[in-house]
Structure 1
Amino acid sequence: MRTAILLAGLLGHFQAAAAVGRACDPGSRPYSAWMTDSVIARQDAILNAKTEDDVSIIFKVGLFESTVIRLKEYYDADSCGQEDWHSYLLAGADSLIPRLLNLTGDITSPMDTFATGEAIYHQYDRTQNATYKQVLDTLWQALNERPRNSEGGFWFYEKYPNLSYLDESYPLGSFSSLWKTYIEPTNTTIADNLINDLDLLKNHCHHDDTGLLAHGYDASKSSWWANATTGASPYVWDRALGWYHMALVDLLENADKSGVLSQTQRDDVYTKYYNLANTIINDADNTTGCWWQVMEHGGQEGNYIETSGSSMFVYSLLKGARLGYLSGTTPKGTGYTDAAHKCYGYLVDHVVNKEADGTLGLDKTVSVCSLTTPTYEYYVSQPIDYNSVYGTAPFILASWEHEMFLSGDYP
């Protein structure tokens, strides 16, 4: 019932908004804008005294900022946002500057750091303030000085030599695309390094039986969990695969808009994206349409439907359909948009909560998973964080794509 009410409300919103651009009617707020306001009201995605001890805060701020930047290019932020989106973007970016200007820290930190590039460039583009350019230059230098394995793949984190995670694909793809588009458009090495990293992750982590990708790999094959042939970790974690699939569809869009890839590279990314879309849909839960924390093990004791990865897949599937990368049905006959909308409806009905203060809450987002002890028991026992930005930001992106579908902004 809630889903039906939501759909009717959103259709009414878009009919009303058609005459005034993408303004929002306060009586039928789209979930993307509502969740954005909620994150801002809670101050969840800014580096401050409340969040400074969160080991993932840099990634979260960068992810949320890039999400809001995209959202306000589609919606009128002044009519759609009850909070001040513009000021929050500025405050969030500025809160990152002291950490990001630390070159050694950028080199030794997880690859999360490079998810901040879009937030910093957005402010540089607006103001031409030299400090933002200095931050971007520091990040670029750090990327080029980070350690890599014998095949040229980036280590995810200097603390863990030779380990590469699917998680790195999103920040690496985002920052590499930004740098090549706006700073060095003729530098082909940027795309070569990015494609090499994506290829290595796919080649090492691929599960031949399902087509899905494991969480990461050890290039040295010395970890106790590493596959003796590939170095791959043993399990498919939904959010790690979500980062990878989001990175692919965003990279395709950037390639088609800005030429960040050669035609051969673009076609290779498309093949990866398309094949993964089919295998991801094949692994969806039959009842909810969403995805389990440990994929390939749906229904097993301790496993659960996880919000961040599910939202990422909704986003990547709907975006691919909107841009023409997916059309019709999978080889097994499931409609691409049907699969995405089924999961989105479940998320709205079962994990989104309307709080007493008027904000939206989001449940069932796992905190952080690493490759330190990648057992099944490890993945299903990691804490669940209510209102984690790792869940709310992808949910905003999924909602935005869902709303665009309802508006008719589709091929």
Structure 2
Amino acid sequence: MFIPLTLALASNLSTRVFARPPSYAVWAADSAIARGQGNGLDANGNAIVSYEHGEFQWGLRQLYEKTNNQSYFNYIQKGIDNVVFSNGTVHGSYSVTDYVLDPLRTGPTMIYLYGETHLSKYKVAADIFRGQLNSHPRTVQGQFWHKLKYPNQGWLDGIYMGEIFYADYTSTFQHANTTAWDDITSQFVLMFENTIQNATAPNNTGLMYHGYDYSRVAVWASADRGHSPEVWDRALGWYSMALVDVLDIIPISHPGHAKILSILQTLVPRIRDAANPTSGVWWLVITEPGRTKNYFESSGTAMFVYAMLKAVRLGHVQDHDGSIVRAAKKAYNYMTTNWVVANSDGTMGWLNTVIVGSLDTTGNFDYYTSQPTDLNDLKGLAAFLLASLELERLDTRAVE
């Protein structure tokens, strides 16, 4: 069994040095924990309801299930306890009436903790999040707005933030609610139909633009469907992870399962083919390969590796010639060689994750490439944890 760094040991990292674990998944998780990342607090120690914390907790859950190491569960619970009061009220950094999908990514952790502990506060908190969706603004077609301040805009990011929680809540508490399952399916389908590149698109990759404005008033909105001008790797990464994760949740008997599966089967080969043939990883702006200022970005790459390997592992996508797994392993090798850094204290550092990508300005190439990258950015490190878990499952099967 892998033994992670405990919180007590983590507090002494400035003077102690620890051996590198043989598992990259354990190393990534332990390193983030040692730095106090993903624990429901911001850099100043204030409570924050953060989607990247929810992403990290999703990986820690899987690592806890793999290792049975209680410290992972304890860290997950502490992270949610930092943002949920004893009566179930969610901390003041969150407000239903802000109508932002991002915070809902912590919702699956609340549902998980309720199932494990039966403490009512976690159910109350999840109910608050679910209540937001009842009044969350939508386009005429029914797509949730990404945020209240972005009217009529659907972003790929929002599917990962909102729909995994929506599906998890429905599965746990309203399993027979076919209206909800229909709605969840519609969110995935509408996003796909409104953002997928068509055959006449310049720099066509057959992949999905970052988002769209159904009202077509945003400065970046195209005349046909209102889509943004570029395929940004992390937005597509969020959507790809959402596809493979929601297929674990939505009933196979519901027609939405087949519709979402079809989208996944369409995208995975195209994602494989969009990787840089030399490095095996993906450009920040996938629609502008090799252009000056473009670069290989780590969070999107890790997300693609996770989605590709999980899709093959669960039989959602057939890999008859092995090219999908080979592509994922090539990208993973690049990640561990170029973006994983061994620190002197035994932790690992993570490089080349772009801090932000938004559609609040121009949404063009110059915007994306002007955003800085960060060291140990949790959006990328959590995705690397998830990708590592999938690769380790693949290697275990090969041995067996």
TM over 0.5: yes
Partner residue, 1:202: 192
Do structure 1's residue 248 and structure 2's residue 243 form an aligned pair? yes
Residues 329-344 of structure 1: matches in 2 within 5 Å? 329=320, 335-344=323-332
The answer on whether the counterparts of 1:149 and 1:162 sit within 8 Å (CA) in structure 2 is: yes
**What whole-Å deviation, never above 9, does each CA across 1:200-253 have from its counterpart, x for those lacking one?**
111111101321000000010111210111010001010100111111111122
The answer on whether the counterparts of 1:218 and 1:232 sit within 8 Å (CA) in structure 2 is: yes
CA distance in 1, matches of 2:67, 2:133: 33
Residue identity opposite 1:221 in structure 2 = R
- Paired residues, what number? 376
Do structure 1's residue 66 and structure 2's residue 61 form an aligned pair? no
The answer on whether the counterparts of 2:41 and 2:47 sit within 8 Å (CA) in structure 1 is: no
Partner residue, 2:136: 146
CA distance in 2, matches of 1:334, 1:265: 28
The answer on whether the counterparts of 1:104 and 1:142 sit within 8 Å (CA) in structure 2 is: no
The answer on whether the counterparts of 2:20 and 2:347 sit within 8 Å (CA) in structure 1 is: no
Q: 1:129 aligns with which of 119, 135, 139?
A: 119
Give the secondary-structure state (helix, strand or coil) at the position aligned to 1:241: helix
Do structure 1's residue 86 and structure 2's residue 76 form an aligned pair? no
CA distance in 2, matches of 1:51, 1:315: 31
Structure 1 range deviating more: 294-303 or 333-342: 333-342
The answer on whether the counterparts of 2:189 and 2:260 sit within 8 Å (CA) in structure 1 is: no
Residues 15-54 of structure 1: matches in 2 within 5 Å? 23-24=1-2, 29-48=22-41, 50=43
Q: 1:77 aligns with which of 63, 69, 75?
A: 69
Do structure 1's residue 211 and structure 2's residue 206 form an aligned pair? yes
Give the secondary-structure state (helix, strand or coil) at the position aligned to 2:248: helix
Identical counterparts, % of pairs: 34
Structure 1 range deviating more: 197-206 or 170-179: 170-179
Partner residue, 1:328: 319
Shift in Å, 1:178: 1.1
Give the secondary-structure state (helix, strand or coil) at the position aligned to 2:225: coil
The answer on whether the counterparts of 1:172 and 1:194 sit within 8 Å (CA) in structure 2 is: no
CA distance in 2, matches of 1:168, 1:399: 24
Residue identity opposite 2:63 in structure 1 = L
CA distance in 2, matches of 1:149, 1:410: 49
The answer on whether the counterparts of 2:99 and 2:136 sit within 8 Å (CA) in structure 1 is: no
**What whole-Å deviation, never above 9, does each CA across 1:252-310 have from its counterpart, x for those lacking one?**
2223xxx2x54421111111001100111111001111111101211111111111100
Do structure 1's residue 363 and structure 2's residue 351 form an aligned pair? yes
Q: RMSD over aligned Cα, in angstroms?
A: 2.2
CA distance in 2, matches of 1:97, 1:398: 29
Give the secondary-structure state (helix, strand or coil) at the position aligned to 1:186: coil
**What whole-Å deviation, never above 9, does each CA across 1:22-53 have from its counterpart, x for those lacking one?**
x2388752000111000011011123352568
CA distance in 2, matches of 1:104, 1:190: 24
Partner residue, 1:281: 272
Partner residue, 2:11: none
Shift in Å, 1:103: 11
The answer on whether the counterparts of 1:355 and 1:361 sit within 8 Å (CA) in structure 2 is: yes
Shift in Å, 1:385: 1.2
Q: 2:282 aligns with which of 279, 282, 291?
A: 291
Partner residue, 1:81: none
The unaligned stretches of length 5 or more in structure 1 are 1-22, 79-83
CA distance in 1, matches of 2:254, 2:224: 31
Residue identity opposite 1:320 in structure 2 = A
CA distance in 2, matches of 1:244, 1:262: 22
The unaligned stretches of length 5 or more in structure 2 are 4-18, 200-204
Give the secondary-structure state (helix, strand or coil) at the position aligned to 2:54: helix
Residues 367-378 of structure 1: matches in 2 within 5 Å? 367-373=355-361, 374-378=363-367
Partner residue, 2:379: 390
CA distance in 1, matches of 2:79, 2:167: 21
Partner residue, 1:318: 309
TM-score normalised by the chain length of structure 1: 0.87
